[in-house]
Structure 1
Amino acid sequence: MGGISIWQLVIVLVIVMLLFGTKKLRNIGSDLGGAVKGFKKAVTDEEKNKPIEKDASDVIDAKVEKVEQEKPKS
């Protein structure tokens, strides 16, 4: 009851085409497509150039000490 039917969408599209014309709608569509393509390219380039970060859980803090053992006498 409150939803938009297919006929209402068709009527709205016809009115928009009459107001703006097909050439202007085509230009708007190509501009919008170019913007989306540029955004996707920027996102993928950013992910490729992002340096690898190590988690703090991967790092182990340890203290190393050298212990000398006596050699057994033979």
Structure 2
Amino acid sequence: MGISIWQLLIILAIVLVLFGAKRLKNVGGDLGSAIKGFKNAVKDEEKKDDDSAEKTLEQKDGDNVFDVAADEKVAEEKKDKA
């Protein structure tokens, strides 16, 4: 047993009488701008995460590569000195 259209209209009429049409319009506009701001913030955060992931991958490909051959060479030099 949901709410019928007549019940919704009565509730809307009561809200209009209590708050007035102008104030409801302002509340609706504020709510809409808040939702837009939230969506933009989420979109920017996702883009920021993607950019940081790409930078991390680029760093691993370049500067922070673990060189096994160089590590083995250092280990051999230590053995030779000992």
* TM-score, reference length from structure 2: 0.61
Q: 2:2 is paired with a residue of what secondary structure?
A: coil
Unaligned runs of 5+ in 2: 58-67, 73-82
Identity %: 59
Please name the residue that 1:8 is paired with: 7
Return 5+ residue gaps in structure 1 as ranges: 55-62, 66-74
**Correspondence list, 1:1-74, <5 A:** 2-50=1-49, 51-52=52-53
Deviations 1:3-51 (A, max 9, x none): 1101000000011001100000000000000100000000000001112
Corresponding residue pairs, total: 59
